[in-house]
Amino acid sequence: MVKDVEQYGLEEMGWDKVPTEIIDKSMIELMDLTGRNILVTGAGGPCLGQAICNRVASLGANVICVGRREENTRDTAEKVAKRWGVKTWVFTCDLTKYDEVGACFKAIHDEVGRIDVLVNSANFNAGGPFKDFTEEQIKLSVEGPYVSVINTCRHICDYMIPQGGGKIINISSEASQRSDNVNLSVYGASKSAVNGLTRSLAGELAQYGIIVNGVAAGVMFKKTLRAMFENPTEENLGIRASMVGTVQDTILKRVSIPEEVASTVAFLCSDACTYIAGQTIFNGGGATV
């Protein structure tokens, strides 16, 4: 039966959910994260986690730094607080352990209160020829990049749903879309799974006001990668070859730095991003075009 013409109104268009308050704001105002509490996993790592902490803090956000190693995570938190004048907190846990993540997030909620954004940037990559992979390498390459994201996304629901919403940003990789992932096959597959999780959760959690997106990073020039190229060995030849191949396949013909990916994450955290959902933004210089 065709509905009465009057039944097709603004309510069906979801007008009551449209953030009309952004209309008269400047882009600078929309990017302002002052007072937001942003939880960043992998904050103690030497690469992307630190860059994300600094990027969002530079826009005024308070940063909840979560990592496996307390010393490294605390170092990041202290530097971010000193540089940007924001609040930071330090929490440690093994993100691959479901119950441990649950206990950690409860402690965070009890101490900090509202968590506005979860950024899943913790990562692990056990590279090597697939034919030589051990059970331990397989386990690490699935649990680190993928299972940890499932765990954090599941537990953040316990807090974001009651508070009326929030944002989740999952860090993926260009390897999730490439077929020539020499020595990165399991890692690439795990990141493909992260992309799928991002899409599925976006659809399922939108009803609770939770916006889920992802960012797929390309080859980032970090300390470990620099060391690999400055000290070439037979053992790292395959990974170096894969990295060079990926970089040469980019439109921009260069490697990236973590801050370039962190800037995309900061945008997704902000009120400048209110109508993007379920997307994984490929931030790899055009490697998958």
The yes-or-no verdict on residue 274 having pLDDT over 90 is yes
% of the chain surpassing 70 pLDDT: 97
The rounded mean pLDDT for the chain is 93
| CATH number given to 26-220+257-282 | 3.40.50.720
Question: What's the confidence (pLDDT) of residue 125?
Answer: 76
pLDDT interval class at 185 (50, 70, 90): confident
The yes-or-no verdict on residue 2 having pLDDT over 60 is no
Nearest to residue 60, comparing CAs of 281, 284, 270? 270
Q: Return all residues near 107 (Cβ < 8 A) that are at least 6 apart.
A: 91
pLDDT interval class at 10 (50, 70, 90): confident
pLDDT (tens digit, 9 = 90+) per residue, 209-240? Answer: 999 999 999 888 888 888 888 888 988 887 78
When pLDDT is averaged across residues 115-124 and rounded to a whole number, the result is 95
Question: What's the confidence (pLDDT) of residue 268?
Answer: 99
pLDDT (tens digit, 9 = 90+) per residue, 141-169? Answer: 999 999 999 999 999 999 999 999 999 99
pLDDT interval class at 203 (50, 70, 90): very high
Domain map of the chain by residue range?
26-220+257-282
Predicted structure pTM score: 0.93
pLDDT (tens digit, 9 = 90+) per residue, 35-90? Answer: 999 999 999 988 899 999 999 999 999 999 999 999 999 999 999 999 999 999 99
Q: Return all residues near 247 (Cβ < 8 A) that are at least 6 apart.
A: 218, 219, 253, 254, 255, 285, 287
The yes-or-no verdict on residue 101 having pLDDT over 90 is yes
